[in-house]
Structure 1
Amino acid sequence: MKDAAEKGALTITVLGREFRVGCPEGEEKQLLASVDFLNRRMKEVRDTGKVVGNERIAIMAALNIAHEMLSRKGGDSGGDSAAVRRRIVAMQETLESALASDQDNLF
């Protein structure tokens, strides 16, 4: 049985690194699909050879994803903005966790 600290948490892997992140009950499949999508996009950025370092790769992938999403939605003028905001917050939390754990390796 999971203790209180582990309830609502899931271990994900982003570019070969494991992270423990919060995940509301029932949204595990959606989070894992998001992680898979993020991994694919980060690998695309990395494989161009123009961006070095996980932090920069993550930022470039996030910017590309945000740009595509806003281009499709026409900015703030449509769609379920609450759902989009929840997804962006989840991505930000994942990125912040990844960047915080990688700070020791930056210098």
Structure 2
Amino acid sequence: MSSQAVEIEILGRTIKVNCPVGQETALRAAAADFDSRLNELSQRTKISNPEQLLMFTGLNICSELHNERKEFNNNADSLSERIGQITETLTEALQNQPQR
């Protein structure tokens, strides 16, 4: 897959990053979200050190991702359990059908 350089802005700095062709819009949206989170954290906490902002924002994003994965896995487990129950119910119903 080929890539191209795309300019994004983080904390007022323009950075060129390689991006797979066709993913430029997603990269720019992710960069805008990240920059927004950094600025929001800076305003909320009065932290001005870029390294600290990057670290805390990265930790917040990882925490959100961890929680989303946990919720996804719980939902997948519940769905799998429900499918098992439906399968059992259908199997029992088919077994109780009169033979033709």
Q: TM-score, normalised by structure 1?
A: 0.60
Report the identity percentage.
28
How many residues are aligned here? Answer: 72
1:103 alignment partner in structure 2: none
Q: How does 1:76-95 map to 2 (within 5 A)?
A: 77=73
Structure number with bigger Rg: 2
Q: Which one-letter code corresponds to 2:60 in the other structure? A: N
Structure 1, unaligned runs of 5 or more: 1-6, 79-107
Could you say which structure has the greater relative contact order, defined with CA pairs below 8 angstroms and 6 or more residues apart?
1
Deviant stretches of 4+, over 3 Å: 75-78
Structure 2, unaligned runs of 5 or more: 75-100
Matched residue SS, 1:26: coil
Bigger mean CA deviation after superposition, 42-51 or 53-62: 42-51
How far apart are the structure 2 equivalents of 1:33 and 1:22?
15
How far apart are the structure 2 equivalents of 1:33 and 1:25?
15
Shift of 1:64: 0.4
- Which has the larger share of helix? 2
Deviation per residue, 1:8-30 (Å, 9 max, x gap): 11111101001110100000000
Q: Which one-letter code corresponds to 1:18 in the other structure? A: T
- Which has the larger share of strand? 2
